[in-house]
Structure 1
Amino acid sequence: MTSPDLTDANIDKLAELFPTVVTESVDADGNVRKAIDFDLLRQELSDHVVEGPQEHYQLDWPGKRAAAFAANAPIAKTLRPVREESVDFDSTKNLFIEGDNLDVLKMLQESYLGKVKLIFIDPPYNTGSDRFVYEDDFAEEAEEYLRRSGQVNDLGERVRSNIESSGRFHSDWLSMMYPRLKLARNLLAPNGVIFVSIGDAEAASLKHLLDETMGANNFVATVVWQKVYSPMNSATQFASVHDYIHVYARNAADWTSNLLPRTDAQDAAYKNLDSDPRGRWKAVDATAASGHATQSQFYELTTPAGNRFTPPPGRAWLYTEPRYQEMLADDRVWFGSDGNGRPAIKRFLTEVKQGRVAQTFWPYTEVGHTQDAKKELLARVAFSEGDTVFDTPKPTHLIRRMLALATSASSADVVLDFFGGSGTTADAVLQQNAEDGGARRFILVQLPDGGDDQKKGIPDVARERIRSAGRAVSDAAGLTGQGLDIGFRALRVDSSNMADVLRTPDDTAQLLLDELEASVKIDRTNEDLLFQVLLDWGLELTMSISVELVHENEVYVVEGGALIACFDDLVSAEAVLDIAKRQPIRAVFRDSGFESDAVRINTEQVFREVSPATDVKAI
């Protein structure tokens, strides 16, 4: 109902002539639009170098500064345990966290700093239909922000749809990924590595983004995964049959991938035609290129049968004549089954590398394809009518390939996936541990998105899949399954447990003072407080927790004394003394649990005398 936008039409015409001058900018309403870089346009129309801003190599886009700020901005949130959604809550070392992954990555910064061995993420591919759900404005009060955004989810987070009309633009996607990758890097162990799956739309942008956040010198490889078993002939140009996986190490100079198991085809070439007691061997060429050979490698060779051989043109013998005689005496030279053939060297299977180096092309015959992945999901989760079944999940064999390359069965490596989706990564970890007896631990993060009373949400699907996978690997392992960790602690992002008790005197009526005493929100449990304390002190969220009754007070003992906490409304002096005698590393109480300031001061004095090394706090 308006006249044509001539500016857009002119930009499109210039884009046809000079595609390199087209960029993106933000209009007055905050919308991303096509724009022209006039400095580059002047250069295109000039026969000499045009003076302009100093050039330097960088990845830039509208909103980059705000994205960098988002990575560093503090949040007043916590993680609350959800026992009813968990499996083996008290003993498991695995985590499933429901919430915005940007919030979660911030909260994990101290507890898991430098502890994650492998990160795998499968972020939105920015194809025009993905949904971006993330906070992008930290300058407003919450009420103003919700009124301005106009669309929020249950946690009050903005929902931005990257519809087809804006899917051509990269800025929103880059702004979503940038702070998350910056925070993820901090969690990687010194020998850690990150694998990021991506499609054609953002493969190049993601590579530049990872160069900036992880360091270009830490680039390891870009893997091409053959994801499609049966290509679509309906494609009008090219049928897409692959995705990319960018691989970056925390310190590439010090990172070495594990070897993959040798294949049956590789071992089949090794036989034992002469019943050599040293086992199977393969005949390899006894010559080498002559370019770097010494004169002593050119000679006429006489075989035991009397045949004489010289190296072919451009070749030299692999060994000098004295060394050849030693190999002959050691029965390491093969002259064919009749003894009259050209000499070859016997290379024994026990002498070759007991594994194979991973290549950058992963065919579906080795790591599965998307159809396999969907079958795996349907086998784990019972979908009902109305449920949304994932169209492009990843196969567990794909994730297990990464686990084989980057983790060890002999250590409790932490595996993080903060775009958890249907829970494939957790499923793969459980399978791998069941197969090789490993103790790998997973942390999955997934947005609270898509569910209601009639259908499963994505977190519901993921949790159900992990439970089903745990039962399956445990049953398959038989009696040994008793030693497998098939559980997970379910946690949920929520606002801080602490109430807003800041009031000015003019805003506080004297008769309401009693209501303002409590610093903890009334709907929060003692276990909620415990997990906030774990985060505040930088302790791992899977530490063992036991609950004891000490002189009528409920006491939490974490990891055998790494932390002892009592959040009762009234802490007895006897309980304080008992806790102090255990000499925990840390002790924490609820501030309102002390009858008076004198009781609190007395508590501090007890610890100074009985356990002076204990770090004591009150919340």
Structure 2
Amino acid sequence: MSNPIHPTSQTPQDITLAQLKQIMPEAFSEGQLDIHKLTALLSEQNIAPAQEAYGLSWAGKHQVYRELKTPTSQTLVPEPDESVNFDTSQNLFIEGDNLAVLKILQKSYHSGIKMIYIDPPYNTGNDRFVYADDFSESIADYKARAGQTDEDGNLTHSDGMQSNRKENGQYHSNWLNMMYPRLALAKSLLREDGVIFVSIDDNEVANLRLLMDEIFGEENFVAEIVWQKKYSPQNDATYFSLNHEQILCYARSLNNFERNLLPLNEEQIKRYKNPDDDKRGVWKSSDLSVATYNQDYDYEITTPSGRVVSPPQGRCWNTSEENLEKLIKDNRIWFGKDGSNVPSVKKFLTETNDGVVPISLWGYKDVGHTQSATQELRKLMGEKIFDHPKPIRLIQRAMKISSSSDDIILDFFAGSSTTAHAVMALNAEDAENGKAGKRKFIMVQIPEVIDAKDNQSAYEFCINNNMPPNIAEISKERIRRAAAHITSELPESVDSKALDFGFKAYKLADSNFIPWQQPASYDADSLMAQLEKHLDPIVDNATTDGIITELMLKEGYTLTADVIEVDGYYLVTQNDALNQSLFNSKASENTTDTAMRLAIVLDDMTTSKATQIIARAPNKTLIMDRAFSDDANKANIVLQFEDAGLVVGCV
């Protein structure tokens, strides 16, 4: 549908408001700019809205805006020993609080994710989830405050997650405070043609719909999908047997989102028959009339039996008389066995290559149910370790509708990593059909502690497999086992080495760099003590890989960029930059080479090393201050880079 023509010329204000609505739909209410919301979102001060308009409001909402703008000093550290094919895999598993992780990924993955699927806590009254954290504090301090460690630093049975009981006076508000910043950060990670699917049930579906309307804009609502999660009624239900859940689907920008068609299922294929033995194969009838009236297409048709028929009242045929004659000669119009029926168009199965339009009702026969999901997980893990996993086919349907073979799929409530399993299985299915099958996943899961009293089977599974008893460990183990299972069932015609069944593991950690702390007093001794800490700002337990990863992320390089050591420095190369605008430099002008390169020098910076780096013309070079022998050495080398027209920074 085309946009309506403005009766008058657009003013600069109209254009500005339209642009602002695209950038910040959450600042608008019923199409009008809410200046109080805009101020709360953009102000550096903690401002509560003075006046509320139509929309979703809850206790602590204005605090969410502050938290959303609060940066994190934390970083990610690589864990090669917990990974599979760390050096080559393009898949990621990140262990840590998803709010902090989403903040860390903002620069590297901004507008780079095609599809997000999440299965967050449903707020049933028994859920536990993480509340707002102070990201200026260290992880060690947070663990102590949240109850994860005792006074001596020993782990306790608590993981810092808190129950949200219905008796709580801010029961819904707590859940909304948890969801809002995560969804807002997720939105900025989506591509312009990206889409998000969020599973939910009746407890919060109404609030979630309003929340996502505010964050994504109600004009970007795609569908509310109903998933039939049970195949039989629950006879002990108090009122109704709840046999379904909802999945809310929103586009980053509905104008840019294009959904794919779904392949026909077995039941749909069975509807195709061949009663007239047409040599083109089985077919099914399609209505020849349409509701969009066109007088030129409103005419009488004489059937082979001599009966004269007209379009139904208020409708017309979908083609002209001239073209209808061509279709009849080509035996594409069906008048019934006796030749007297109202004509219909023959749609041949062999010509139905594009598939069918997805519907909003997803039955268990097509996408599975909770029991089949439990069986899938039991088959992999050997026992039932989760009560409500999602079926693989459910996630795959969302991916088939909204992604192609090279896209990145994100799930920041990974749970048992059903989404990762679904990505690998769909890639294998594509490979069997001769397609590329190169979708990539990013899983994020907090290491939620498993209490033996709450889930004995999951706890024993971890202990028996020499794993810490937490959800993240089970999540990683499922990916490993799912990869092995899929590989074992691949036909010989498929090269398993061409498929990515690995993942790079990372964990949330404190920065490798010592933060500046305001001295308790400004006397000379206090200031000198603080300055001495920053002569070499690297923390004692920092690793080279950790430092490189942190610098990569801060410069906007992805976690799958190539890193090699060359002649005493590190060269980071990214061939698939998600946001080319982040890497503008003279080194990339007037060249067809789209690879982005970052040089990192940690130690022993010399003029000869500078010459070698300059010859490679990286987009940027970062040099640790400690790498320079003295100030003169630093000044000369910086001048070398500037004379070559290259960007250099000192850390």
TM tier relative to shorter chain: 0.7 to 0.9
SS in structure 2 at match of 1:246: strand
- The match for 2:18 is none
Q: Separation in 1 of the partners of 2:146 and 2:256?
A: 48
Query: Of the candidates 259, 268, 273, which is equivalent to residue 266 of structure 1?
Result: 268
How do 1:376-387 residues align onto structure 2 when only pairs under 5 Å count? 376-381=376-381
Query: Of the candidates 590, 598, 612, which is equivalent to residue 645 of structure 2?
Result: 612
Residue by residue over 1:341-375, the C-alpha shift from the partner in whole angstroms, topping out at 9 and shown as x without a partner, is 44634413155573111111111111111112122
- The match for 1:363 is 363
Q: Separation in 2 of the partners of 1:417 and 1:274?
A: 50
Cα separation, partners in 2 of 1:330 and 1:54, compared to 1, 3 Å = same
- The match for 2:428 is 434
- The match for 1:160 is 162
Q: CA deviation at 1:449?
A: 1.7
Would you say the 8 A contact 1:288–1:316 is kept in 2?
yes
Q: CA deviation at 1:270?
A: 3.2
Query: Of the candidates 468, 474, 494, which is equivalent to residue 509 of structure 2?
Result: 494
Cα separation, partners in 2 of 1:505 and 1:285, compared to 1, 3 Å = closer
When structure 1 is superposed on structure 2, of 60-69 and 137-146 the one drifting more is: 137-146
Residue by residue over 1:9-44, the C-alpha shift from the partner in whole angstroms, topping out at 9 and shown as x without a partner, is xxxxxxxxxxxxxxxxxxxxxxxxxxxxxxxxxxxx
How do 1:31-46 residues align onto structure 2 when only pairs under 5 Å count? none
Query: Of the candidates 555, 580, 583, which is equivalent to residue 570 of structure 2?
Result: 555
Q: CA deviation at 1:268?
A: 3.2
SS in structure 1 at match of 2:115: strand
Residue by residue over 1:260-281, the C-alpha shift from the partner in whole angstroms, topping out at 9 and shown as x without a partner, is 0022333333344444444443
How do 1:399-438 residues align onto structure 2 when only pairs under 5 Å count? 399-409=395-405, 412-436=406-430, 437-438=436-437
How do 1:53-68 residues align onto structure 2 when only pairs under 5 Å count? 56-68=53-65
Query: Of the candidates 71, 95, 105, which is equivalent to residue 74 of structure 1?
Result: 71
Q: Separation in 2 of the partners of 1:126 and 1:526?
A: 41
Would you say the 8 A contact 1:370–1:395 is kept in 2?
yes
Q: CA deviation at 1:323?
A: 5.5
SS in structure 1 at match of 2:537: coil
Residue by residue over 1:323-349, the C-alpha shift from the partner in whole angstroms, topping out at 9 and shown as x without a partner, is 654444343444545x55446344131
Query: Of the candidates 238, 251, 254, which is equivalent to residue 253 of structure 2?
Result: 251
Larger radius of gyration: 1
Corresponding letter in the other structure for 1:480:
D
SS in structure 2 at match of 1:425: helix
Would you say the 8 A contact 1:272–1:279 is kept in 2?
yes
- The match for 2:347 is 348
Q: CA deviation at 1:137?
A: 5.1
Q: Separation in 1 of the partners of 2:73 and 2:482?
A: 35
Q: Separation in 1 of the partners of 2:631 and 2:137?
A: 37
Structure 2 unmatched runs, 5+? 1-49, 150-154, 431-435, 451-458, 575-594
When the two structures are superposed, what TM-score results if normalisation uses the length of structure 2? 0.77
Corresponding letter in the other structure for 1:118:
M
When structure 1 is superposed on structure 2, of 154-163 and 340-349 the one drifting more is: 154-163
Query: Of the candidates 518, 525, 530, which is equivalent to residue 543 of structure 2?
Result: 525
Cα separation, partners in 2 of 1:588 and 1:322, compared to 1, 3 Å = closer
Q: Separation in 2 of the partners of 1:132 and 1:514?
A: 40
- The match for 1:31 is none
Q: Separation in 1 of the partners of 2:299 and 2:419?
A: 54
Q: Separation in 1 of the partners of 2:55 and 2:330?
A: 61
Q: Separation in 2 of the partners of 1:443 and 1:169?
A: 30
Cα separation, partners in 2 of 1:167 and 1:543, compared to 1, 3 Å = farther
- The match for 2:30 is none
In the alignment, structure 1 residue 372 sits paired with structure 2 residue 366 = no
Would you say the 8 A contact 1:287–1:315 is kept in 2?
no
Q: CA deviation at 1:506?
A: 3.2
SS in structure 2 at match of 1:254: coil
Cα separation, partners in 2 of 1:493 and 1:315, compared to 1, 3 Å = closer
How do 1:208-219 residues align onto structure 2 when only pairs under 5 Å count? 208-219=210-221
Q: Separation in 2 of the partners of 1:537 and 1:171?
A: 36
Corresponding letter in the other structure for 1:369:
H
Cα separation, partners in 2 of 1:321 and 1:260, compared to 1, 3 Å = closer
Cα separation, partners in 2 of 1:80 and 1:56, compared to 1, 3 Å = same
Q: Separation in 2 of the partners of 1:512 and 1:55?
A: 46
Cα separation, partners in 2 of 1:433 and 1:287, compared to 1, 3 Å = closer
Q: Separation in 2 of the partners of 1:510 and 1:196?
A: 52
Residue by residue over 1:389-437, the C-alpha shift from the partner in whole angstroms, topping out at 9 and shown as x without a partner, is 221111111100110011012xx21111111111111111111111113
Would you say the 8 A contact 1:556–1:566 is kept in 2?
no
How do 1:230-245 residues align onto structure 2 when only pairs under 5 Å count? 230-245=232-247
Q: CA deviation at 1:68?
A: 1.5
Q: Separation in 2 of the partners of 1:515 and 1:286?
A: 80
Corresponding letter in the other structure for 1:88:
N
Cα separation, partners in 2 of 1:601 and 1:343, compared to 1, 3 Å = same
Residue by residue over 1:271-325, the C-alpha shift from the partner in whole angstroms, topping out at 9 and shown as x without a partner, is 44444444443345667789866696246x363xx64444598598847766654
Q: Separation in 1 of the partners of 2:409 and 2:141?
A: 38
In the alignment, structure 1 residue 472 sits paired with structure 2 residue 506 = no
Q: Separation in 1 of the partners of 2:529 and 2:307?
A: 112
Cα separation, partners in 2 of 1:90 and 1:200, compared to 1, 3 Å = same
Structure 1 unmatched runs, 5+? 1-52
Corresponding letter in the other structure for 1:470:
A
How do 1:531-570 residues align onto structure 2 when only pairs under 5 Å count? 531-548=549-566, 550=567, 553=568, 555-559=570-574, 562-568=597-603, 570=604
Corresponding letter in the other structure for 1:389:
I
Would you say the 8 A contact 1:99–1:445 is kept in 2?
yes
Q: Separation in 2 of the partners of 1:438 and 1:483?
A: 9
Q: Separation in 1 of the partners of 2:505 and 2:382?
A: 20
Cα separation, partners in 2 of 1:362 and 1:582, compared to 1, 3 Å = same
SS in structure 2 at match of 1:252: coil
Would you say the 8 A contact 1:473–1:481 is kept in 2?
no
When structure 1 is superposed on structure 2, of 311-320 and 158-167 the one drifting more is: 311-320
Q: CA deviation at 1:131?
A: 0.7
Q: Separation in 2 of the partners of 1:267 and 1:63?
A: 53
Q: Separation in 2 of the partners of 1:152 and 1:295?
A: 73
- The match for 1:36 is none
Would you say the 8 A contact 2:209–2:248 is kept in 1?
yes
Number of corresponding residues: 550
RMSD of aligned C-alpha atoms?
A: 3.4
- The match for 1:103 is 100
Cα separation, partners in 2 of 1:462 and 1:289, compared to 1, 3 Å = closer
Q: Separation in 2 of the partners of 1:101 and 1:474?
A: 30
- The match for 1:225 is 227
Would you say the 8 A contact 1:257–1:405 is kept in 2?
yes
- The match for 2:385 is 389
Q: Separation in 2 of the partners of 1:253 and 1:333?
A: 36
Would you say the 8 A contact 2:286–2:347 is kept in 1?
no
When structure 1 is superposed on structure 2, of 505-514 and 191-200 the one drifting more is: 505-514
When structure 1 is superposed on structure 2, of 220-229 and 502-511 the one drifting more is: 502-511
Corresponding letter in the other structure for 1:416:
L
Q: CA deviation at 1:157?
A: 8.1
Would you say the 8 A contact 1:393–1:424 is kept in 2?
yes
Q: Separation in 2 of the partners of 1:415 and 1:288?
A: 39
- The match for 1:461 is 474
Cα separation, partners in 2 of 1:616 and 1:401, compared to 1, 3 Å = same
Corresponding letter in the other structure for 1:567:
L
- The match for 2:124 is 127
Cα separation, partners in 2 of 1:276 and 1:584, compared to 1, 3 Å = same
Would you say the 8 A contact 1:118–1:415 is kept in 2?
yes
